[in-house]
Structure 1
């Protein structure tokens, strides 16, 4: 059986002697790309299929990650975010029937772009106020988001394996 993955992504490498901000950002990007690879080759039903008793599915995890990209990288530092069409407290991991896969992927792309702009323009020591009232630095947010993306990419590893048996961080080279 041929793999539905049509390309092998260029895997970014964290520089061995890079600066702290550059290294954290590249590491975050590596795992953001893993999140997207976990979706490749799957149809809409597979992306939305509830795989746990709580209803966790691949597309819902992407929606959640988009939400937290805005919530941690943009809002605390006064950067613009888009208006959400859902309740972030209860619906950020749920994909409604009127939300298309393309809509969620575009939302994630916009969130990543906004987050990347905030990362580029904000020094590591700069602080902002998070949604929970805590004062956070960009350094802390980068570390926290790296942890969050890694955690959910791990969830996606398991869900993808249960759906079609695909494993690994990136597709094997042909």
Structure 2
């Protein structure tokens, strides 16, 4: 796992911070079976796999849609809250693959644009790439923290990153 460079430039530091949290999200699924990753752990129905699906949707939304790049056609409706739920026909492999594609497409947009370049969010707001990176660091870190708790409840495993 990469570390945020102590003397890196702003864009590199923001990107590495985001990528570290992305990796932690996937690590939280390691070694679990389909039932465990799908298990609804809160009254609202939150599951480990549902959080991965939600984050994948956010990566596409905040980087690809906002900056007018390669939009994937989603098989679910995030406006109806379907980005947090996992349907019986949605395997772990399918959702993890979706998260991988969303990261790849987001990474292309991040690498092509400067921090001060702007796009239009789904809310109609003008936002900079800097803002989108900071927002996704916050979003991913927040849900990685949720996943820390859910994973501990599933099998007792703890930690925010794999040991170096």
TM-score by length of 1: 0.92
Equivalent position of 2:126 in the other structure: 135
SS, match of residue 66 in structure 1? helix
Equivalent position of 1:46 in the other structure: 36
User: How many pairs are equivalent?
Assistant: 163
Counterpart selection for 2:154 from 123, 144, 163: 163
Larger radius of gyration: 1
| Offset at residue 76 of structure 1 (A) | 1.1
Pair 1:119–1:60, CA change in 2 (3 A): same
SS, match of residue 78 in structure 2? coil
Deviates more, 1:113-122 or 1:163-172: 163-172
| Offset at residue 69 of structure 1 (A) | 0.1
| Offset at residue 169 of structure 1 (A) | 1.3
Counterpart selection for 1:124 from 110, 115, 128: 115
Equivalent position of 1:58 in the other structure: 48
| Offset at residue 167 of structure 1 (A) | 0.5
State how far apart, in whole Å, the 2-side matches of 1:67 and 1:145 are. Answer: 11
Equivalent position of 1:74 in the other structure: 64
Structure 1's consecutive aligned runs of 4 or more residues displaced over 6 angstroms after TM superposition are none
Gaps of 5+ in 1: 1-10
Equivalent position of 1:3 in the other structure: none
* Cα RMSD for the two superposed structures: 0.8
Instruction: Tell whether 2:86 aligns with 1:100.
Output: no
Deviates more, 1:73-82 or 1:132-141: 73-82
- 1:129-174: per-residue Cα shift (whole Å, max 9, x none)? 000000000000000000000000000000000000100012346x
SS, match of residue 136 in structure 1? strand
- 1:106-148: per-residue Cα shift (whole Å, max 9, x none)? 0000000000000000110001000000000000000000000
Deviates more, 1:143-152 or 1:81-90: 81-90
Gaps of 5+ in 2: none
Counterpart selection for 2:82 from 65, 88, 91: 91
